[in-house]
Amino acid sequence: MHTLARALLAEIEAFLAETGLTPTKFGLAAVNDGHLVANLRKGNSVTLKTADRVRAFIDEGERAQGASATGRARRTPAGPVHGPAGSLALRSAEDPSPANLPLPRIALIIGGGIAAYKCLELIRRLREHRVGVRAIMTKAAQAFITPLSVGALTGDRVFTELFDLNEEREIGHIRLAREADLIVVAPATADLIAKMAHGHADDLASCVLLATDKPILLAPAMNPRMWLNPATRRNVALLEADGVTLVGPAVGEMAEAGEAGPGRLSEVPDLLAAILGLLRVAATAAPSLPSPLGAPAGPLSGRHVIVTSGPTHEPIDPVRYIANRSSGKQGTAIAAEARLLGARVTLVSGPSQLPAPAGVELVRVETAREMLAAVRQALPADIGIFAAAVADWRVSEAFADKLKKGAGAGAPRLELVENPDILRTIAGAAPGVRPPLVIGFAAETTEVVEYAKNKRKAKGADWILANDVSPKTGIMGGDRNTVHLVTATEVESWPDLPKAEVARRLMLRATEWLAEHTALT
């Protein structure tokens, strides 16, 4: 074993003995962000330092392997070797250990849109999933974010110029186009889409797109009028006919005040899911490219997670129903995150406009009773997360025919009865049926934490994620959330975060809990 690795392992061993942390907890801390580490040790900086050293060690190892690959043949009998300094490991014929398998690599073309900043988070998440990223930025993209930030996150140089002698000699636009397993364009501007559709090649990004023989994924982002413009519609249709894959755009508020509609860059978890999905397909199609993504792998591999999401619709008559303003965004984000961590995921969703995240099994239902039946059907599970805003009441007997406004008959009187309580039912199920970790949501408008504490006890849930859904918060239907995680022993208040980040934090906590309290069967 490498001496440096031996020294680091000894350090970790001593650290675990000193703190009583489990290796799983430490592993999660090492590959994730500081917040998890801080939660583990209430901010103890020793953990952070050791975790940082692990990350630095991994990066160092990759750099060393990249450097030793320079000057060698680009393919060994054991598999492909990717370019020089950078993020991909070399698989040598002598050492076929999983750690030495080549990682999949994408070329990320960043276009000049306001959403370019989201690429920084995307790169970070891709690196966490051990995907190598080589970034190419258009001139316009550099007006929004700097190559310096992008390069710091990819750990590689960033390519910006077509007519740069150094860049061309070092890698060259044809190699950039061919040495990736997938080309991703995010944000894909109206301009880049138009250039691609018509085969233009007047800068590095468009040259690479024209010269590649690899699959292409576009993540469009633009003003809704640009997206709906007939010219863009024609260009997108041409590209789809050419076999280019699109993720998004999402529908919602735009950066420009007062603008809304289709055109938002998809959220990072959705971009990540689309990229990992396509890399899996590429790995299956090219067995010479052994990929850790061949099967969903992650800390939740072999686990089953059930998530409920969205509102329920309780019929009054064939055309009218009782509902609420839930969009299903938080539950869907949680399902996407659980999938990214390697779980088999069943998403039981009430009526919502949202598509299923890649790789998630979606069961669509209308009513609370259907939702409970679908959850029961999906059991057993390791984690049950009940994020749906289930209607508490339904009309005792829905009318078979549409109610009519009769002359002088007055308004109909509706008798309401209680719906089944899905969280209480599943949390109170017999051992073996009840998921080991049951998490409920509490949507409150006053005394949020107090109600959540009571709800946790009353329903028998392990954790409650409480949020304030008063209209002023914009949480219901919005893209951000401010939650309090209520457990048997503590209340943790998280800052205002995108729903995707709430999902990420929750799933990391749940993963950690599961690793500590249960064994895989």
Ligand X SMILES: Cc1cc2nc3c(=O)[nH]c(=O)nc-3n(C[C@H](O)[C@H](O)[C@H](O)COP(=O)(O)O)c2cc1C
Is 324 within 8 Å of 391 (Cβ atoms)? yes
Q: Which residue has the tokens 């025919």?
A: 401
Give least dist CB 190 to ligand X, A: 4
Those residues whose C-beta lies under 8 Å from the C-beta of residue 240, and which sit 6 or more positions away, are 246
Give least dist CB 122 to ligand X, A: 15
Q: Give the whole-angstrom CA distance, residue 355 versus residue 25.
A: 33
Q: Which lies closer to ligand X via its Cβ, residue 185 or residue 390?
A: 185
SS3 category, 159? strand
Question: How far are the Cα atoms of 24, 28, 489, 520 from residue 21, in angstroms, in the given order?
Answer: 8, 11, 19, 20
Q: Which lies closer to ligand X via its Cβ, residue 143 or residue 319?
A: 143
CA angle (44, 50, 54) in 5-degree steps: 145
Footprint on residues 381-410 left by ligand X (CB under 6 A): none
Q: Which lies closer to ligand X via its Cβ, residue 195 or residue 504?
A: 195
SS3 category, 305? strand
Give least dist CB 479 to ligand X, A: 17
Give least dist CB 361 to ligand X, A: 33
Q: Which lies closer to ligand X via its Cβ, residue 204 or residue 437?
A: 204
Q: Which of 122, 184, 192, 383 binds ligand X (CB under 6 A)?
A: 192
Active-site residue, from 100, 223, 324, 454: 324
Footprint on residues 133-162 left by ligand X (CB under 6 A): 138, 140-141
Q: Give the whole-angstrom CA distance, residue 347 versus residue 308.
A: 6
Q: Is 208 a binder of ligand X (CB under 6 A)?
A: no
At 224, list the tokens.
């809704």
Footprint on residues 322-351 left by ligand X (CB under 6 A): none
Q: Which lies closer to ligand X via its Cβ, residue 182 or residue 193?
A: 193
Q: How many residues does the chain have?
A: 521
Q: Which stretch binds ligand X (CB under 6 A): 20-28, 221-229, 235-243, 293-301?
A: 221-229
At 440, list the tokens.
């409920």
At 196, list the tokens.
């691609």
Q: Which lies closer to ligand X via its Cβ, residue 12 or residue 185?
A: 185
Task: Mark residues 449-488: x for contact with ligand X by CB under 6 A, - for none.
Answer: ----------------------------------------
SS3 category, 43? coil
CA angle (310, 313, 318) in 5-degree steps: 150
Give least dist CB 188 to ligand X, A: 8
Q: Which lies closer to ligand X via its Cβ, residue 200 or residue 364?
A: 200
Q: Of 291, 316, 360, 322, which is closest to residue 503 (Cα–Cα)?
A: 360
Is 72 within 8 Å of 149 (Cβ atoms)? no
- Element at 134 (helix H, strand E): strand 132-137
Active-site residue flag, 324: yes
Q: Which residue has the tokens 């000699």?
A: 169
Q: Is 224 a binder of ligand X (CB under 6 A)?
A: no
Q: Which lies closer to ligand X via its Cβ, residue 89 or residue 186?
A: 186
Residue 261 is given by DSSP the state E
Name the phi and psi angles at 250, rounded to 5. -80, 160
Q: Which stretch binds ligand X (CB under 6 A): 151-159, 188-196, 396-404, 513-521?
A: 188-196
Those residues whose C-beta lies under 8 Å from the C-beta of residue 393, and which sit 6 or more positions away, are 314, 322, 416, 417, 418, 419
Residue 313 is given by DSSP the state -
Q: Is 190 a binder of ligand X (CB under 6 A)?
A: yes
At 362, list the tokens.
């979606």
Give least dist CB 234 to ligand X, A: 15
Q: Which of 62, 121, 179, 191 binds ligand X (CB under 6 A)?
A: 191
Give least dist CB 112 to ligand X, A: 3
At 26, list the tokens.
């430490």
Is 446 within 8 Å of 469 (Cβ atoms)? no
Give least dist CB 274 to ligand X, A: 19
Q: Which of 65, 189, 327, 419 binds ligand X (CB under 6 A)?
A: 189
- Element at 188 (helix H, strand E): strand 182-188
Is 365 within 8 Å of 371 (Cβ atoms)? yes
Alpha-carbon Rg for the chain, nearest whole angstrom, is: 25
Footprint on residues 41-80 left by ligand X (CB under 6 A): none
* Number of shown-chain residues binding ligand X (CB under 6 A): 16
Give least dist CB 140 to ligand X, A: 3
Q: Is 221 a binder of ligand X (CB under 6 A)?
A: yes
Q: Is 222 a binder of ligand X (CB under 6 A)?
A: yes
Footprint on residues 84-123 left by ligand X (CB under 6 A): 111-115
Give least dist CB 272 to ligand X, A: 20
Q: Which lies closer to ligand X via its Cβ, residue 13 or residue 164?
A: 164
Q: Which lies closer to ligand X via its Cβ, residue 228 or residue 416?
A: 228
Which residues does residue 394 pair with via DSSP β-bridges, in sequence order?
417
Question: How far are the Cα atoms of 223, 377, 517 from residue 510, in angstroms, in the given order?
Answer: 37, 22, 10
Q: Which stretch binds ligand X (CB under 6 A): 53-61, 148-156, 219-227, 375-383?
A: 219-227
> Which active-site residues does the annotation give?
324
- What is the contact surface with ligand X in residues (CB under 6 A)? 111-115, 138, 140-141, 187, 189-192, 221-222, 226
